Structure 1
Amino acid sequence: MPEMPTKLAEIVDEFAAAPRDVVLEMLLEYSDVIPPLPEELAGREGMEQVPECQTAFFLRAEVNPDRTVTTWFDCPPEAPTTRAFAGILAEGLAGASAAEVLAVPDDLYQRMGLAQAISPLRVRGGTAILARLKRQVREQIS
């Protein structure tokens, strides 16, 4: 059984071990790591909206011929917490295989200790982002 990618596991452990008052600061650091969309996705063409998020959030996962997954996220800068979720996934899943992406636990954000630091609505949005990402991967490998 594959495990979640090592880089994502390291991020989860880092958050879980951090004092609560530092968690929000750490989150905000990830809000800036989302790479810009490639030109062909600039109009969000082919991206899926995540309506559970309080802000306009779009994503796309693509399984490459070598079975690695490429992810793209689009979220306005005015939504730093939601952007941080995307930043964590972008960094933690970079170079990951489809099997590793599917092995990411659904309660990822709870494991990180975020449920104690941010609102349940935001955690629900982050969980929905992960669920849609995994569904897109599953659809492409089945």
Structure 2
Amino acid sequence: MSSTAPSPALPEKLAEIVDDFQAVEERDRLLLLLEFSRELADLPPAYGKHPELLEQVVECQTPLFLKVDVADDGARVDLHFSAPPEAPTTRGFASVLQQGLAGATAAEVLAVPDDTPDMLGLTRAVTPLRMRGMGAMLMRIKRQIAEQLGPGTAS
């Protein structure tokens, strides 16, 4: 891990992940993303039994659904994703966000820069459409947080 975070607005875990991507050669970044795809946590049983509680990210090329849980005081955010195993790029992006933002506060997640997907250095390894899908995941996460926290929440 490098001694400086890539952006002061990134929560520590996400900053470490971005550092990890930036530390490997560009040709190896896609392999790292595939490793993350295998680490995507399963949906909690409550969401698995009630898929209507998840929101589809239609900008993703594959069916990806997400749900954000925010503690009442905004002190903790948990992310849940559903993506098919045959979509490793999409699952990898979801896993990066899930692992990088797990346990962060709502304010920390809302402050994450919208260009964070670009910080992974994958823009030449994956299509622009897939990069937009990851950006859309982040935007939906922020919107769900703002909705759960109520009026006056910056997004």
* TM-score of the two chains, using structure 2 as the length reference: 0.86
1:66 positional shift? 4.3
Identity over the aligned pairs, expressed in percent? 52
Which of the residues 36, 39, 51 maps onto 1:30? 36
In structure 1, C-alpha distance between the alignment counterparts of 2:121 and 2:139, rounded to whole Å: 18
Q: Secondary structure at the match of 1:116?
A: coil
Which of the residues 5, 22, 25 maps onto 2:11? 5
Once the two structures are superposed, residues 74-98 of structure 1 have per-residue CA deviations (whole angstroms, 9 ceiling, x without a partner) of: 0000000000011101111111000
Which of the residues 107, 112, 131 maps onto 2:115? 107
1:102 positional shift? 0.7
| Root-mean-square deviation over aligned CA pairs | 1.3
Once the two structures are superposed, residues 3-25 of structure 1 have per-residue CA deviations (whole angstroms, 9 ceiling, x without a partner) of: 32101011112212321111011
Which of the residues 47, 58, 71 maps onto 1:41? 47
* TM-score of the two chains, using structure 1 as the length reference: 0.94
Alignment: residue pair count: 141
Alignment of 1:1-142 (within 5 A): 3-42=9-48, 43-67=50-74, 68-142=76-150
In structure 2, C-alpha distance between the alignment counterparts of 1:36 and 1:20, rounded to whole Å: 29
| Runs of 4+ with >3 A deviation | none
Once the two structures are superposed, residues 38-70 of structure 1 have per-residue CA deviations (whole angstroms, 9 ceiling, x without a partner) of: 121114131100000111100010111342111
| Structure 1, unpaired ranges of 5+ | none
Once the two structures are superposed, residues 87-124 of structure 1 have per-residue CA deviations (whole angstroms, 9 ceiling, x without a partner) of: 10111111100011111111111111111221111101
In structure 2, C-alpha distance between the alignment counterparts of 1:66 and 1:138, rounded to whole Å: 12
In structure 2, C-alpha distance between the alignment counterparts of 1:12 and 1:116, rounded to whole Å: 16
